[in-house]
Amino acid sequence: MELRDKNGLTEKEFLERYQPSDYERPSVATDMVIFTARDCKEDNYRKLPEKKLQILLIKRGGHPYMNKWALPGGFVEPDETTEQAAKRELLEETGVDNIYLEQLYTFSEPKRDPRMWVMSCSYMALVDSEKINVSAGDDAKSAEWFNVSLKKEKTEVNEKSDGFVSVTDYVLELEKEDEVLSAKIRLTKTRTNSGLDSHYDIVENDGLAFDHAKIITFAVLRLRGKVTYTDIALNLVPEYFTLTELQQVYEIILDRELLKAPFRRKYGILARQTDDYSKDAGHRPSKLFRKKWLRE
């Protein structure tokens, strides 16, 4: 016996009469926060080059936000998942695939895109800078790497009878050569007996399209959190690396200097020693290591 709903319809009859156009539906896009760690030019050949944490941005070639910088991404095609769309965009923008990729968050505010309601299923990717071949997509004027800086400006905590409200302001700066983009992002956390609610607001924004300053801030904080208890940082070093290079990657992510001995005690488990040495001119060769992935 077939089940019937309150209108006396079977499932087949219901689906035959169903009109999707009766409901407003959002479009779905993927936005990619693509991180890499790159060496900076060093005038003194005897010094090891410093690393910078960078993300890839594209300059929009059309409206809306024409000539503004934005995260690479695009709309999800009817025959693909959001993850497939993210991998497609990643390959188109960097020329690489089969790299670290994870979903960040779905940003779904109705007015985040001036064209229509567009939900962004955002992703974070980590790319070895030696493998990258950057190219701008059809809808972009150019694609460039920007140095990333995210600093906490202040935090205010107000106690409540059943919890607290914490408000933290972050200053985001993205820099390349003589161009600097900046934004102030406010993270509000509300803890009550029923749980924790967090949301991000853009307080100030100079040069970034859409709500991408919010997405970038979310990604940097996610990366900083995960780097302390996973092997995620290994995705930002080449196949062969020194322990100093690995420490530099941690320092640029966490935005602070780390003591050499404690770092090696804690994170040395991520490196497998080889019989090879670095061949950099101007300073003493260092032992080379290979990645040693953690097992769950």
60-87 pLDDT, tens per residue? 989 999 999 999 999 999 999 999 999 9
Q: Over 60: is that where the pLDDT of 281 sits?
A: no
pTM: 0.91
Strands (E), 83-162: 100-107, 118-127, 140-160
Residue range 118-130, pLDDT digits in tens: 999 999 999 987 7
- As a whole number of angstroms, the longest Cα–Cα distance in the chain is 83
Q: Is residue 147's pLDDT more than 80?
A: yes
| Angle between helix 243-254 and 260-267 (nearest 10) | 100
Q: What distance in Å separates the CA atoms of residue 172 and residue 150, rounded to the nearest whole number? A: 5
pLDDT at 104 over 90: yes
pLDDT band at 284 (very low <50, low <70, confident <90, very high): confident
Three-state DSSP at 197 gives strand
Q: How sure is the predictor about 174, in pLDDT bands with cuts at 50, 70 and 90?
A: very high
- Rounded mean pLDDT of 5-30? 91
More confident residue, 40 or 269: 269
Mean pLDDT for 80-108 is: 91
Q: For strands 179-192 and 163-176, give the pairing.
A: antiparallel
- pLDDT the model gives residue 199: 93
Per-residue model confidence (pLDDT) at position 155: 95
pLDDT at residue number 125: 95
